[in-house]
Amino acid sequence: MIIGIGIDILEKKRITNINNKYGYFFEKKILNNIEINQCKNSKKKITNIAKLFSLKEAFIKSLGTGFIKNFSFKKIKIKHTKLGKPIIKKKNIKIYTSISHEKNIIIALAITKINN
């Protein structure tokens, strides 16, 4: 049973401005250590941070809960398949994801389904 669909769209400039102001503190707030390491070695660091941020937002929207107590961006772990597809794994739920970007706009989609 699908419990929710979440979509997020953002301008990369928003993440650029926040990252310029807060730098590593911002990254530590929204990314886990694996995601930080993946982004820091990339020529497209800000784009990658923005894509992860947007997908995490979409996932939270698909749950319909908002950020409840003791739940944070860092607890949402995004991995990628060998072909680059983003994956979020949580117990007893299946999350279908997609991210796309064009120059300065990033869009992310998450569909959350309870496993029966």
Annotated binding site: 8, 57
98 and 80 Cβ atoms separated by less than 8 Å: no
- Strands across the sheet with 86-90, in order? 2-11, 105-114, 93-102, 86-90, 78-80
Binding residues for Mg(2+): 8, 57
Q: Which amino acid is at 35?
A: E
